[in-house]
């Protein structure tokens, strides 16, 4: 104890300063005394989260000859002494957290990347970057960009990319984690400095590649006949130089898929959705994205290409009746089913599973005599279990097989030799144009696979004939347009995904990235209610994303409404949106304002519901007149009471919502009930008796006075769900499983309770029927045959 007292006395003494005239050696305090002062000061200051600075008034106490003592020793490690304001703390490529300072550009001619910012996070193994050298307006430069990876010995060798008028584009390979990239410019005009040594013109870029594993992959399949030799159409020179066997096909298809991915990621970024893209399934195998990896047998995680043999022979696949380009073909759509059956069998798709597959038919063949491409179909779409895009291999010879071949392949003006390969739609007169058609048209079908229809512009309107401009700074001579090409392909010259495409992709499960809110798998439904004033209230548990507006006779959508939050920190979608007919028609051109309007409402779970005729939905047939609120027989008629904003005796309106079920069963008859508790103020709903077996038979509403109301019929077994009337519990809505009829139902209450499931809880699809804000349940409408095959909820204010 005496020790601590002595220590405290010494600590207090250390705070006393003396005049220099009283100091025996008339000098400033030594380093040791300064440390003592600093330690004492630190022990009496606030916690380290409030560090002391020279502006602290307490520091005025510590002066010797007007010289302030050394600052207190910090309790937290400070920045490195050699750091400056340009330093940054990042995760190093080796995985350790340390201070890393990227070198500054080495000269005014160092490449400047303009398409992506430093320290960005990306989710694709290969990305496309673009930039410029110096100021293109002042001094246009020609030359080359060399991209170096900090893991050159393992990740990827240096690659060269042309510079035209000081602009460049490059494909950059990334390995998982941080990637330190060096961009080096070389030009004959800048070959040597004044002292005779070669001057470096380099800049650096740090990118973090975060692979995605939680999103479903887009799987890649090469389909062949059961007796196929596994070769594809190619000219004799191509066969001699690079071959046309299955291994070459796999390398070319893999490279094309990475071009799809890089293109889509860049497009999503330009639409301010980050660099989202679909991912691919990978496996450990010999790398092919670099020619070095393939020649040296270096193994890496590479995109897996599944080779699927179907039950049909090559001759059967090349049947002219299956050829899509044959106008007289009687079975031109059957090739899609053949591919789908083979892929389902290969992946052993189970009920409830969903696969997304892009398929290349390797046995496609150019029949010069018939003038058609056999065993080829350009189709995309699918069913609940398989989303599939198929395309032929007739342009495969023109594809690049690795990153180093992208620019040579997309600028190759070699004329298409129709003695051996096809000039597809007369738009593939040269090799680079054939690559555009093959890679781009297959991507078009992938767009259909992902849910995109044809659009007014972009990839989904055959704009892929300009796909090369995304990856090449120059464009070669075009046989399609008879033009000499472009010296500089700028962003405005490129093709792209339409805005409506990227809106679909943003909420597609294949584009999910970490941080996205996972939509409920139980309920992807969208509900709507036509209410008074020409208003349509739309609701979705996953939020309303956008609404497409189409007029009668229009194949393409030209107007739409978006409900995305502009703040990226709050990406939540509104769960309830009110549309008005006036606002919707105001979006239309003058000559279309009185046309029939249809809507397609999209939710945050990538589902949609179509309203084929807006005027019909908003018509009076979906609005009913409810009886006025009445007093009970024992209540004083003079009581001045109101109920949900309506006086007793006032007429009210009820509004029908979206109908579930097809009402198409034999003997089905319409039914409709208005809950007595909605009419009589004295009626108290006590319970709901549900009649159900394999489907929903009926709902019986039971009141405290013993009266009942039945919607549907009493059949199957019954179960009763009681409400807590002492707590004022009421019915808010229902969770429903429905398809052609109503399979099962669950009751939702105002206290947050849910009943059990009655009927089939796995049948049909999930739907939530609930009144919008400001409304409540008024009754049910629909139809009943052997069981309930139509159900609508009626609401009122």
Residue 83 above 60 pLDDT?
no
Tens digit of each residue's pLDDT (9 = 90 or more) over 706-755: 999 999 999 888 999 999 988 989 999 999 999 999 999 999 999 999 99
- The arithmetic mean of pLDDT across residues 582-606, rounded, is 92
As given in the structure block, the two tokens for residue 291 are 């020619």
- The arithmetic mean of pLDDT across residues 657-669, rounded, is 92
Distance CA 480, CA 465 (A): 9
Distance CA 686, CA 657 (A): 25
In sequence order, the 6+-apart residues with CB closer than 8 A to the CB of 675 are 685, 701, 709, 777, 778, 779
Instruction: Tell me the catalytic residues.
Output: 445
- What three-state secondary structure class fits 340? helix
pLDDT of residue 521: 57
Are the C-beta atoms of 742 and 758 separated by less than 8 Å?
no
Which secondary-structure segment (H or E) carries 111?
Answer: strand 111-113
As given in the structure block, the two tokens for residue 778 are 């008024």
pLDDT of residue 24: 39
- Tell which CATH architecture fits domain 651-796: Aligned Prism (2.100)
Tens digit of each residue's pLDDT (9 = 90 or more) over 442-471: 999 999 999 999 999 999 999 999 999 999
% pLDDT > 70, the chain = 82
Residues of the chain with CATH 2.100.10.30: 651-796
Tens digit of each residue's pLDDT (9 = 90 or more) over 331-347: 888 999 999 999 999 99
Residue 429 above 90 pLDDT?
yes
Tens digit of each residue's pLDDT (9 = 90 or more) over 163-180: 999 999 999 999 999 999
Residue 194 above 70 pLDDT?
no
Q: Comparing 93-97, 230-234, 659-663, which segment has the lowest mean pLDDT?
A: 93-97
% pLDDT > 90, the chain = 64
Are the C-beta atoms of 347 and 355 separated by less than 8 Å?
yes
- The arithmetic mean of pLDDT across residues 591-607, rounded, is 91
pLDDT of residue 52: 36
pLDDT of residue 639: 37
Assign 92 a pLDDT band (cuts: 50, 70, 90): very low
- The arithmetic mean of pLDDT across residues 305-315, rounded, is 96
More confident residue, 90 or 592: 592
Tens digit of each residue's pLDDT (9 = 90 or more) over 558-567: 999 999 875 5
Distance CA 298, CA 64 (A): 69
pLDDT of residue 75: 40
Q: What's the whole-model pTM score?
A: 0.82
Q: Residue 170's closest CA among 504, 347, 398, 404?
A: 404
Residue 759 falls in which region: left (phi positive, over 0), alpha (psi -120 to 50) or beta:
left
Q: What is the largest CA-CA distance in the chain?
A: 115
Sort strands 608-611 and 597-603 into parallel, antiparallel or unpaired.
antiparallel
Residues of the chain with CATH 2.60.40.10: 106-209
In sequence order, what DSSP letters do the residues of 480-499 get, joined into one string?
TTTB---SS--GGGS----H
Question: Does the domain formed by 106-209 have CATH 3.40.50.1000?
Answer: no
Assign 101 a pLDDT band (cuts: 50, 70, 90): low
Which secondary-structure segment (H or E) carries 529?
Answer: strand 527-531
In sequence order, the 6+-apart residues with CB closer than 8 A to the CB of 415 are 429, 430, 479
Are the C-beta atoms of 185 and 109 separated by less than 8 Å?
yes
In sequence order, what DSSP letters do the residues of 729-745 get, joined into one string?
--EEEEEEEESSSEEEE
- The arithmetic mean of pLDDT across residues 70-90, rounded, is 39
Tell me the CB-side half-sphere exposure of residue 200, using CA atoms within 13 A: 11
Distance CA 181, CA 539 (A): 47
């Amino acid at each position: 104890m005496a020790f601590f007292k002595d220590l405290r006395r010494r600590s207090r003494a250390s705070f006393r300063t003396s005049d220099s005239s009283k100091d025996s050696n008339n000098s400033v305090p030594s380093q040791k005394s300064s440390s003592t002062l600093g330690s004492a000061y630190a022990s009496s200051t606030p916690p380290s989260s409030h560090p002391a600075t020279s502006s602290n008034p307490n520091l005025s106490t510590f002066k010797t000859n007007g010289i302030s003592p050394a600052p207190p020793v910090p309790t937290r490690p400070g920045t490195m002494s050699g750091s400056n304001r340009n330093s940054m703390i990042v995760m190093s490529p080796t995985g350790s957290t340390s201070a890393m300072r990227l070198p500054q550009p080495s000269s005014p001619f160092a490449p400047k990347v303009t398409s992506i910012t430093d320290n960005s996070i990306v989710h694709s193994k290969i990305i496309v970057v673009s930039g410029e050298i110096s100021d293109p307006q002042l001094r246009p430069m020609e030359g080359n960009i060399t991209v170096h990876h900090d893991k050159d010995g393992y990740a990827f060798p240096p690659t060269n990319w042309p510079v035209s008028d000081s602009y460049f584009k490059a494909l950059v390979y990334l390995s998982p984690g941080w990637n330190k990239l060096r961009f080096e410019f070389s030009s004959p005009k800048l070959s040597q400095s004044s002292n005779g040594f070669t001057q470096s013109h380099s800049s650096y870029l740090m990118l973090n590649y975060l692979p995605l594993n939680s999103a479903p992959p887009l799987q890649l399949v090469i389909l062949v006949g059961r007796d196929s030799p596994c070769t594809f159409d190619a000219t004799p020179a191509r066969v001699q130089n690079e071959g046309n066997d299955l291994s070459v096909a796999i390398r070319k298809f893999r490279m094309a898929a990475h071009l799809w991915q890089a293109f889509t990621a860049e497009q999503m970024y330009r639409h301010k959705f980050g660099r989202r893209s679909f991912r691919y399934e990978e496996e450990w195998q010999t790398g092919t994205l670099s020619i070095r990896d393939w020649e040296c047998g270096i193994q890496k995680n590479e995109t897996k290409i599944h080779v699927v043999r179907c039950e049909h022979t090559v001759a059967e696949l090349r049947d002219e009746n299956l050829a899509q380009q044959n106008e007289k073909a009687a079975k031109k759509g059957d090739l899609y089913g053949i591919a789908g059956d083979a892929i389902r069998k290969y992946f052993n798709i189970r009920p409830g599973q969903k696969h997304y597959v892009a398929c290349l038919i390797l046995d496609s063949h150019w029949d010069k005599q018939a003038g058609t491409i056999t065993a080829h179909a350009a189709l995309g779409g699918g069913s609940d279990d398989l989303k599939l895009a198929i395309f032929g291999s007739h342009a495969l010879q023109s594809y690049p097989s690795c990153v180093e071949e992208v620019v040579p392949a997309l600028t190759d003006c070699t004329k298409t030799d129709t003695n051996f390969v096809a000039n597809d739609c007369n738009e593939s007169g040269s090799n680079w144009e054939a690559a555009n058609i093959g890679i781009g048209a297959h991507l078009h079908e992938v767009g259909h696979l992902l849910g995109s229809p044809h659009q007014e512009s972009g990839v989904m309107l055959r704009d892929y004939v300009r796909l090369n401009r995304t990856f090449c700074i120059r464009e070669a001579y075009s046989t399609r347009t008879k033009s000499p090409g472009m010296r500089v392909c700028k962003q405005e010259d490129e093709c792209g995904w339409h805005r409506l495409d990227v809106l679909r992709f943003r909420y597609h499960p294949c584009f999910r990235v970490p941080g996205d809110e996972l939509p409920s798998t139980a309920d992807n439904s969208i509900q709507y209610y036509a209410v008074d004033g020409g208003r349509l209230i739309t609701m979705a548990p996953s939020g309303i994303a956008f609404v497409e507006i189409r007029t009668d006779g229009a194949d393409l959508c030209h107007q739409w409404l978006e409900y995305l939050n502009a703040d990226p920190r709050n990406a939540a979608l509104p769960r309830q949106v009110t549309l008005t007919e006036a606002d919707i028609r105001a979006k239309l051109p003058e000559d279309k304002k009185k046309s029939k309007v249809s809507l397609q409402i999209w939710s945050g779970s990538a589902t949609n519901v179509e309203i084929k005729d807006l005027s019909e939905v908003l018509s009076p047939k979906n609005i009913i007149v409810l009886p006025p609120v009445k007093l009970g027989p024992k209540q004083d008629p003079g009581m001045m009471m109101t109920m949900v904003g309506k006086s007793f005796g006032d007429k009210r309106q009820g509004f029908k919502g979206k109908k579930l079920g097809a009402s198409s069963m034999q003997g089905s008859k319409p039914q409709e009930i208005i809950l007595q508790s909605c009419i009589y103020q004295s009626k108290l709903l006590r319970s709901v008796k549900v009649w159900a077996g394999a489907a929903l038979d009926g709902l019986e509403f039971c009141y405290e006075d013993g009266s009942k109301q039945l919607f549907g019929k009493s059949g199957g077994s019954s179960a009763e769900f009681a409400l807590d009337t002492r707590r004022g519990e009421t019915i808010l809505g229902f969770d429903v499983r429905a398809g052609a009829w109503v399979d099962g139902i669950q009751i939702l209450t105002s206290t947050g309770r849910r009943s059990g499931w009655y009927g089939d809880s796995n049948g049909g699809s999930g739907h939530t029927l609930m009144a919008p804000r400001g409304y409540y349940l008024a009754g049910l409408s629909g139809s009943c045959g052997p069981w309930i095959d139509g159900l609508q909820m009626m609401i009122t204010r």
